[in-house]
Amino acid sequence: MGRPGRDEEYTAYMTARLPWLQRVAYLLCQDWDRADDLVQTTMTRLYVHWRRAGSVENVDGYARTVLLRVFLAEQRTAWWRRVAVVRDTPDTAHADAPADLDLRAALAALPPRQRAAVVLRFYCDLSVEQTADALNCTAGTVKSQTSKGLAALRRALEPVGVTVEGE
């Protein structure tokens, strides 16, 4: 067992930040059950390394990086391709949104690294450099992945039959 102070610090942090981690995980994977699994793995890794994580200046950044790496590692395995998650009930929060304007579906259609770049840049409000650090890549790669992701989102969310001048 760890020292009581360590466990209390970890518990306080996770109690306060769990909803935020779950939202970020959901934006990455587009499934609440899978998001819970990602957060559970992240929580375990944070606990194991809490001495290091608890001593950094930006614990949220550390936790977000762990979550992102867990997500990307899972994307590289075949597990998520073999398992089909079927939701019995529709998500009623967006049930009345037009089908051609479903941002969640458009986000889910992005490749994992583009999705991660868009979520980190625009939901987590990270700079290009912070996103590059979290994704363990160059700033140029972040800019490229973000640009491609935004272009794909624009195409997916463009109303049917609308053309842009010059095309």
Residue range 1-88, CATH number: 1.10.1740
- Does residue 166 register a pLDDT over 90? no
- Does residue 10 register a pLDDT over 90? yes
Which one has a higher pLDDT value, 90 or 124?
124
Structural domain boundaries of the chain?
1-88, 91-159
DSSP secondary structure, 74-122, as one string: HHHSSHHHH-----SS--GGGTTS-GGG-HHHHHHHS-HHHHHHHIIII
Q: Give the model's pLDDT for residue 159.
A: 74
Q: Cα 16 to the chain's mean position, in Å?
A: 18
Q: Which of 4-18, 25-39, 69-83 has the lowest mean pLDDT?
A: 69-83
The answer to whether 1-88 and 91-159 have equal CATH topology is no
Question: Are the CB atoms for 54 and 9 separated by under 8 Å?
Answer: yes
CA-to-CA distance for 117 and 128, rounded, in angstroms?
A: 9
Single-letter code of the amino acid located at 57:
E
For residue 20, give the nearest of 77, 61, 74 by alpha carbon: 61
Give the CB-side neighbour count of residue 57, counting CA atoms within 13 A.
Answer: 0
Per the listing, tokens 């990307």 go with: 72
pLDDT band at 6 (very low <50, low <70, confident <90, very high): confident
Classify domain 91-159 at the CATH topology level: Arc Repressor Mutant, subunit A (1.10.10)
